[in-house]
Structure 1
Amino acid sequence: MGAHGGDVAVVVPWRPSPDRLPLWDWVRARWAAEFPDWPILTGGCPDGVWSKGTAVADALTRTSARTVIVADADVWTPGIPTAVDEVLAGRARWAMPHALVRRLTPDATLAVLDGAPLDGQPTVETHQGMPGGGLVVVARDLLDGVPMDPAFTGWGQEDSAWALALTTLAGPMWRGTADLTHLWHPPAPRRSRSVGSAESLARFRRYVAASGRPDEMRGLLAEFCPTPLEGSPTVYRYRNDNTGDEVEYPQPNARLEMLPNWTRIAAPEPTSEPTTQSTVGRPPVSEPKAAWVEYATSLAQDSDEAAEILTLTKADLIDRYGKEN
C-alpha cells in the first residue's frame, strides 16, 4: 500500500508562540496538501515547563491510528512516504526518513514562508540527524509500549533517550536518505548548545546505562508507562527469491539490500523469550561523528564539557571517550 493511504496519523507536540506560529502554519499546510487523508493532531501540556513527551501523549488520546508520525512543528522532508511504507508493510517497526538535517538561515526561512522553494536555500548548518529527533514513524503498538519520557522537561535529550529505548526494545530503526529541512526560529532556553538541563542530562545517562539491556530499559519505562513493551527486539529479515532461503540480521544488510534476488520482508512478531542482547551505549568506530557526539554528551560531567564536545573531531571523541570501561 502506498504511503498516501493506510491508517496513519500525524502527531505534533506544540505550544503556540509568536515566533513559531508562522512556521507551523507553513508546515501544517504542507501536511494537509500532500497527505490529505492523514489527520493532523497537535498535543500540548499544561502551562509551565514544557514536556515533549506529555504533548505527544496528549495528542495520542485523540487517535487510534495503527501508524503514527511524531513530527516537530518546524521541519519537513520529502522522505515521508517511503518511511511510512516501511512501517505499514511491517519491514520496520520504527523509521526515520532523513539522514541529514539542514537548518535554514533566518532569511532563508522568511523566503520559504513567502513562497520560495524549500530546496537550495542557504543553511546555518547541516549535520547528521540524531536518532529519535525531527520526524519519526512508529507503529502504534510500539509507541504505546515505548512512549517518549514525559520526565524530560524544557529542551534536550528526550529524543535521544527515546531512540535508545526504541532500539533496545524494538530493534534498529529503518533510516532513509532524504534531507530534513528545519525552519529557523530563536533557540529554546537551554544550559548549553547540547545540554538542556542538568536534570535532563542525568536522566539521559540512565537511558545510556540501560541501552541494550531490555529488562533494565523496561524498568526505566515502567516509571511512567504501565505497559512497557515485552519480547525481543525486531530483526531485519531477507528472503532469497530464487531459493526461498530466509536470513536475519540485527541491522540492515547493505549487500542484500542491493542484490536483485534478495527481498527484505516483514520479520515475525517479537517473542516473549528473554533476550541475550548486550549492546552498550558506546557506538562502533564506524558510526558517524553525530553518534559519537551523542554518546560523549551522555558522559559529560557538566555543561562546559558538553559544549567542548561539539568542538572535537571524531578522532578526538574516539580517543577521549572510546576506551573500554
Structure 2
Amino acid sequence: MSYTTNEREFALPLPITQAARRTAQQFANSMPTPDKAKQVRLNTLAVCVVNDYLQMMGISCDPTASDSWNPVVRMCADVADLDVTGVGRLECRPLSMRSLTCDIPPEVWSDRIGYVVVQIDESLHSASVLGFTETADVEELPVSQLRPVEDLIDRLSQLAQPSAAPVSGKMVKLSQWLQNVIDAGWETVESVLHPEQSSLAFSFRSSEIAVTTQDDLDTGIRRAKMIDLGMQLAGNAIALVVELSPESEQRYNILVQLHPAGSSSYLPPSVQLLILDESKAIFLEAEARSADNYIQLEFSGEPGERFSIKVALGDATQEENFVI
C-alpha cells in the first residue's frame, strides 16, 4: 500500500537514476547472502536519492566519504550515511511501500546530524523522501513522527552557518537596566563594596539607584559584579562596576571601574581593564599600578552597539559581553 494520509502529504517524489541502480547493484553483488545484498541495495539507493535531492537544493555532499561507500563497513554494519560537506553525516534509511515504521539500527544512533526516511518503490525506479528527524533512539521509528523534508533544508542551513566567536556568559542588555531589568549577577554597588570603597565608585544622588521615576531613568544606573580570576588574585577580590547614563535619546555614556573588594584597599598590581569592540579588538585599556584603589575607563555608544569588558591578570581573564 502507499501512504495517502495527511502526514504523508509533504512527501517528495523523485526518480531513481540508472547510475544509482547500477551502483546499488554493484555494492550488493559483493555481499555474502541475499538478505545482506538486499539491505545494501536499498541502503545505497536511499543514499543516492537523498544525495540527488540535496545537490538539486545546492547542498554539497560526498557519498564517497561516507561509511556506506566503504566496502568493509557496509559488509559489517547496516549503514546508509551520506556525508554533507562541512556539516556532518545524514543517515538515509530506506522504507518499503508496505511499512509504517522505519528500521533504524542502534549502530547509527550516534554521529549523525539527522535521519532521512526514503520510501522506495518496488520497481526501484522511483522514491519519495518522506521526511526527517534530528535524533533517533528507537529501532522502529513511526513515519507519522517525521518532520517535513523542508525542515531538513533549514536544519542543514543552520548547521552550515559559521560558528560565532565564543563568548563568556550571556549578553548583558544595558539599556534594560534603565527599566530596572537587571541581569543576574549584577548587584548594587553598596552590596558588593564596603562603604569606603563604594564612596569612590560614583556620585549618584540615590544610594540604591532604585529606578522608579522618570527622573531616575534620565539620570542613569550603576551595578557591580564580583570578578573571579582564580588563583591569580591570591585572595585579593576585585569588583567590576558599570554605570550607564543617557546623553540623549540615541546615545549613552558608559563608565567602567575596577575596585578592590573584601579586605584589600588596593587593586592587584598589573591587573588590566580592557574595553573590546564587537570584533574583540581593544579600543580602551587601563592597568593598575602598585597603589591604585581603582582604575576606570569611559566611552559612549548608541543603542544596539555591542562591546565587551575584559579583566585580565597574567594568564587569567574574565570577559563580560554587553549590548547597549
TM-score, normalised relative to structure 2: 0.22
Which has the greater radius of gyration?
2
TM-score, normalised relative to structure 1: 0.22
Name the one with the larger strand percent.
2
